[in-house]
Amino acid sequence: MSYRTARQSDPELRFSDTEIRDLAIAWVTLSVAFALLFAPVHRGKSVGAFVTMVGLSLVTVGVAFLLHEIAHKVIATEHGQIAEFRADYQMLFLAVMGALVGFLFAAPGAVYHRGQVTQRENGLIALAGPVTNLLLALLFLPLVILPEPFGTIGQMGIWINLFLAAFNMIPFGPLDGKSVLEWHKGVFAIVFVPTVLLAAYVIVFVGPFR
Active site residues: 69
- 82: which strand partners? 114
Helix (H, G, I), strand (E, B) or coil at 111: strand
User: 177, 188 in Cβ contact below 8 A?
Assistant: yes
User: 111, 71 in Cβ contact below 8 A?
Assistant: no
Peptide bond into 149 cis (omega under 30): yes
DSSP-derived letter for residue 203 is I
Cα 32 from Cα 39, distance rounded (Å): 10
Phi, psi of 50 (to 5 degrees): -65, -45
User: 69, 127 in Cβ contact below 8 A?
Assistant: no
What is the rounded radius of gyration, in angstroms, for the C-alpha atoms of the chain?
17
CA angle 134, 197, 103 (to 5 degrees): 85
Q: Among 128, 114, 111, which Cα is nearest to 177's?
A: 128
- 156: which strand partners? none
